[in-house]
Structure formats: structure tokens, C-alpha cells
Structure 1
Amino acid sequence: MNKKLKPLPQFANESQEQEFWEAHDSAEFVDWTTAKNVSLPNLKPTTKTISLRLPQHLLDGIKTAANSRDVPYQSLIKVWLQEKLHTQ
């Protein structure tokens, strides 16, 4: 790459760095042509606990479906939500 890259600035904290990158293009500071793909096999997605109110008959039906598939009902709900999300 013939383009002269700018030196990376020093940041006092993470919020200062976040503000900087929101306003600047990283291509001015990093030669992305030399970037390499990495694999992070042990990385798990962040999860958040939610409260979901369902009618009792609906929850019973979900539990029955999960039991017939021999999976926890919460896992089955996650699978169904993921499938529905990808069909949109």
C-alpha cells in the first residue's frame, strides 16, 4: 500500500476511544489489506434474561413439544425464535 497511514492516537479511556472511532474511518489508520481472518471457537454470544408472560395453555403446548423432542422448553423457544427471525 502506497498510502501513508496516520499514527493511532492514545486514548485515556474506552469511551474516548469509542467517540474517536465513531467519527473516523479506520482505513486512515490501519492497512486492512494485511488483515487476517481469525477463529474464536470458544466465544459465546452474550445472553440476557427476560421475563415473558405466556398464556398457560401456550406454555403447556411448548413444554409438550419440547418433551417430545427431548430438549428443554427454553431451548426450543430459542430455536423457534431464531428460525422465525431468519425466515423474515
Structure 2
Amino acid sequence: MNRKLEPIPSFKDEAEERAFWESHDTADYVDWAQAARVVLPNLKPTTTSISLRLPVSILDRIKAEANKRDVPYQSLIKTWLAEKVG
């Protein structure tokens, strides 16, 4: 079905645009059947810092494993966690 779409208005800032889309249906403004999937490979996932207390002996063993792999120990911990919960 070919129907006439409404023109998307101009916005003075992101807050105004956000308020607009919170109260309007995008289907009235965008033909989603014509949308193309976009891949954004350079985006990094949002991260947050945590504090984790480990026995020194465990941390030393992790650092030794990281050193063998020539990677930072925190990156190795993240990799292991991702594999485990994966």
C-alpha cells in the first residue's frame, strides 16, 4: 500500500526531537519496508567499572596467564567472563 508519508519536521535540538518521537508514530513518517539494515562495526559496547576483591594468589595466576598470552590481565578476565556467561 502506497500512502503519503508526513514530512519529518526540523528540530532545534535533541530534546525537542526526543519529545516529538515520544508522542508520534514513526510509521506515519518513515516507510520501514524500504529501510536497510546498518552495521556499525566500530561501536564499542558501553562499559562500567566494578570493584572485585580477589585473593592475591588468584590475581597473580591470572596475570601470569595474561602474560603468556601477551594480553592485559583485565582483558583476559573479560574474555573469560564472556565465554562463561556466553
TM-score (norm 1): 0.70
Answering whether residue 50 of structure 2 is matched by residue 54 of structure 1, we say no
RMSD across aligned positions (CA)? 2.4
List runs of 5+ in structure 2 lacking aligned partners: none
Structure 1 residues 77 and 25: alpha-carbon distance in aligned structure 2, compared to 1, 3 A threshold: farther
What secondary structure sits across from 1:19 in the alignment?
A: helix
Task: Measure how far apart 1:52 and its partner are.
Answer: 2.2
- What does 1:9-48 align with in structure 2 at a 5 Å threshold? 9-41=9-41, 43-48=42-47
Q: Percent identity?
A: 52
Structure 1 residues 8 and 77: alpha-carbon distance in aligned structure 2, compared to 1, 3 A threshold: same
Task: Measure how far apart 1:48 and its partner are.
Answer: 4.3
TM-score (norm 2): 0.71
Structure 1 residues 31 and 82: alpha-carbon distance in aligned structure 2, compared to 1, 3 A threshold: same
User: How many pairs were matched up?
Assistant: 85
